[in-house]
Copies of this chain bind each other. A is one copy, B any other.
């Protein structure tokens, strides 16, 4: 998605060789008008897929899922939680995912009642790096007896191999911008 690449280059910040920071429109401040274009693009990429539900992870993923839902006939959005609030008193599915930027391991949790057997579930997230979060979400979908309709990421760090890992499991993976290399502040797209 050319507009996204341009936005990353003009507003993003490359740190070292691993991190691209896009807090100006995706991870801290949200440019909702631009995110709506992202939602429309996911709508196109997965236009031939049946999508009964959209699954993401808190926090930034929520914005992505919300702007995408209208393009999937307002399929319900479910966001996995990283910590269970005291009101989460019913059964839930749980899978572990490591956060690259936070250096922590999160146990992603989804209440059982919000994923049903046979549902086609589209997984959306802001970043795809090693694929840990997507794998965890896909595990949760499969624990529920539901099916992964596809996996979409706004920005993929291609050099971390996540999409290869996910495609090897048979999933359709769509990343709207794939970064091949970050070197001394310079971002190279695939």
Q: What residues make up the interface of A, taking CB atoms closer than 8 Å to B?
A: 15, 19, 21, 23-24, 27-33, 35, 58-60, 62-63, 65-67, 69-70, 74, 76-79, 81, 83, 85-89, 99, 101-103, 110-111, 114
Contact = CB atoms under 8 A, between A and B. Distances in A.
23 contacts: A15-B87, A15-B89, A19-B87, A23-B87, A23-B88, A23-B111, A28-B78, A28-B79, A28-B88, A29-B114, A30-B62, A30-B69, A30-B77, A32-B66, A32-B70, A32-B74, A33-B70, A59-B59, A59-B62, A62-B66, A63-B66, A66-B67, A87-B101
A111 B33 CA distance: 21
A77 B32 contact: yes
Contacts of A66: 30, 32, 35, 62-63, 66-67
A87 B32 contact: no
Nearest to A60: B62
Contacts of A35: 66
Looking at chain A's contact residues, is the secondary structure mostly helix, strand, loop, or mixed? mixed
B21 A87 contact: yes
Nearest to A23: B111
Contacts of A81: 28, 59
Contact of A101 (B29, B74, B85): B85
Given A19-B87, A59-B81, 16 more contacts: A21-B87, A23-B114, A28-B114, A30-B62, A30-B66, A30-B78, A32-B70, A32-B76, A33-B70, A59-B59, A59-B79, A62-B62, A63-B63, A85-B99, A86-B101, A86-B102
